[in-house]
A and B are shown apart, each in its own frame.
Chain A
Amino acid sequence: MFFTSYEFLGFFLVLLVLYYSLPKKWQWKLLLLGSYLFYFAAGPWYVLYILGTTLVTYITGCQIGKNFEKQKEYLASHKEELDKEAKKAYKGVQARQRKRWLVVCLVVVVGVLAVTKYTNFVIANINSVFTAFGSGTQLSFLNLMVPLGISFYTFQAVGYILDVHRGTIQPEKNFFRFALFISFFPQVIQGPISRFGDLSQTLYGEVKANWSTISLGLQRMLWGYFKKMVVADRVLQGVSTIISDPATYHGAYALVGMVLYTVELYADFTGGIDITIGVAQCFGIKVQENFIRPYFSTSLKEYWRRWHISMCNWFRDYIFYPVSISKAMQKVGKTAKKLFGQKVGKRLPVYLSSFVVWFLTGIWHGASWNFVVWGLLNYVILMASEELEPLYAKFHEKCSWSNKAGYKVFEIFRTFLLICVLNLFDCFEQVGTTLGMLLSIVTTGNWEVMTNGALLQLGIGVTDYIVIGIGVLILFTVSFLQEKTQKSLRLMIRSLPYFVRAALWFGLFVLVLLWGAYGIGFDASQFIYNQF
């Protein structure tokens, strides 16, 4: 049941009506039922996986919570008789018990993700090694199901259990409430990766129907549908044609393809998240923002603060910080300091931890080497930029023109182009093909395809280009206004006279109806991030 299907719209409307018709104490229970129905529709067997992850994480959370309580009670009741050392020793024993629970949970939950998503990747690599050594032995691939959104809900569950283990949140004691946190239908298949501390604030609230909130939610959904159906799904046709046949479509086609793919990825993923946030808002639930106009970034570093924020924060808080400040890494830093000096000693832990983070970010996006290369390329560029930081500072100090608006536009354009190049690694499983495509841009010289009508043979005609052009212009204008004012455009529109704002939203609705890529000739496509 894709967000863009009629079934989803019907499901959403029925759930919304029931949500506000039922007694308030039943609201979150209805959402749980709805979430499992939604997930069941994606694949009946998938339910077993999400249920397993939920159960294991829930039990572990409760056990860790009980251990914390036991520790607190024991220390309180033995306050007088225990000295500092005895307290420390007792805390150490309890911490080890909690850690055992945590490890078991992580092995099971992450293990399910690893087995379902990466087994065939490992087998393919083993087979490659056999072939390289001239062995005829080949292992058979396994026919494994990869449950929809497993990367997202697994990360959400891992974030929860790590927060409970750190003692930063209290474990949820009601299994069904916890099950809703993991399975909440608008976000279960493509995020954002919510934190329990944030989402639980509004997820179980007893909500009174409020037209103002519901209309804001519906508007956000409509904006998401516009991005997805008018822009992303139209661009998709052209991108698919170019990707499917790199032997024919290279050179200038590769340049067009990578720019189109970057537009598609933005419209698809941010559109999906708009729908997610909008749906949740209709139910009075606040889901965290996942993007802050990423294509206005002036550097790759800034881009990763604005793109897929929930995933970046997840990696930062649960991988980067723990690894980089771990005792082992601090030891590495100190040894490096002795051997290579202060600067290397300070940077090495950060660089090694970042390597781990980007390797994992790459593999999280897909079980193939092109994603690993994509992640590591991001890493190399980010670390190089970090090293060149003093040089940039000197450059900006000496060249005053580099602080003016014109140079900022150049930086934005340069970063966008860099993102286009990096994104091309998503498109082809073979890294060699991507490199060949990139090289072909400067070596082929088939620039005549830009003007001789060849671009109209990619599955997108003149009308599509016009619609995409207008769509991108609208996206740019809205983002530009938000960037400039730092305000929600929906709230700004709200202050306009009634007939103006009604005309604006009705106009957007008509655009989706008229220009949305659906109906005969179009196949409502899955969101790109559903596959991760």
Chain B
Amino acid sequence: MDELLEILSDLHPEVDFENEEGLIDDGILDSFDIVTLISEIQDVFEVTIDAQKIVPENFNSANAIYSMIQEILQED
């Protein structure tokens, strides 16, 4: 989780990612951020994120993103 928070903070240092729960719904992360984020996650966690995983529920909070990564790791 710490690694993920570090990636997110690099993207938007001004956001409190530990508590924010509307990253997509509130427009904090835009499509450009999402692509950069996915690229970083794929490198750090060694997972492949498919386009179908890019839905607001999976990206609205750091916890949701982390759960998605765990889910992909389990599927693999």
Point out residues on A near B: beta carbons under 8 Å. 166-168, 301, 305, 316-317, 320-322, 324-325, 330, 333, 346, 349-350, 353, 386
Contacts and interface: CB of A to CB of B under 8 A. Distances in A.
A346 B36 contact: yes
A325 B36 contact: no
Contacts of B38: 325
Contacts of B51: 166, 317, 321-322, 325
Nearest to B27: A305
Contact of A325 (B27, B49, B55): B49
Contacts of B42: 325, 330
A290 B61 CA distance: 26
Contact of A349 (B27, B39, B52, B54): B39
B39 A325 contact: yes
Contacts of B31: 316, 320-321
Nearest to B52: A166
B52 A346 contact: no
Contact of A321 (B27, B36, B54): B54
A166 B39 CA distance: 20
Q: Which of B38, B42, B52 has the most CB of A within 10 A?
A: B52
A317 B50 CA distance: 11
Interface string B20-57: 00000001001110111011001000000111101100
Given A321-B34, A321-B51, A321-B54, 8 more contacts: A166-B50, A166-B51, A301-B30, A320-B31, A321-B35, A325-B50, A350-B32, A386-B32
B52 A350 contact: no
Nearest to B36: A346
Nearest to A88: B76
Given A325-B49, A350-B32, A317 B54 contact: yes
B71 to A, nearest CB: 14
Contacts of A386: 32
A333 B32 CA distance: 14
Nearest to A389: B32
B59 to A, nearest CB: 11
B52 A324 contact: no
A317 B52 CA distance: 9
A86 to B, nearest CB: 14
A71 B30 CA distance: 35
Contact of A324 (B27, B30, B35, B55): B35
B40 to A, nearest CB: 8
Contacts of B49: 325
Given A316-B31, A320-B31, A350-B32, A333 B50 contact: no
B25 to A, nearest CB: 13
A167 B51 CA distance: 11
Contacts of A325: 35, 38-39, 42, 49-51, 54
Nearest to A166: B52
Contacts of B50: 166, 325
Q: Which of B35, B38, B52, B54 has the most CB of A within 10 A?
A: B35
A321 B33 CA distance: 11
Contact of B39 (A316, A320, A333): A333
Nearest to B35: A324
A483 to B, nearest CB: 16
10 contacts: A301-B30, A317-B51, A321-B35, A321-B51, A322-B51, A325-B42, A325-B49, A346-B39, A349-B35, A350-B36
A166 B50 CA distance: 9
A168 B52 contact: yes
B36 to A, nearest CB: 5
A179 to B, nearest CB: 25
A493 B55 CA distance: 35
Q: Which of B30, B38, B51 has the most CB of A within 10 A?
A: B51
Contacts of B36: 346, 350
A330 B39 CA distance: 7
A333 B36 CA distance: 10
B37 to A, nearest CB: 10
A331 to B, nearest CB: 11
A346 B39 CA distance: 8
Contacts of B27: 305
A167 B50 CA distance: 12
Counting from the closest, the 5 A-B pairs by CB-CB distance are A166-B52, A322-B51, A324-B35, A321-B51, A321-B54
Nearest to B14: A393
B7 to A, nearest CB: 11
B20 to A, nearest CB: 19
Contacts of A320: 31, 35
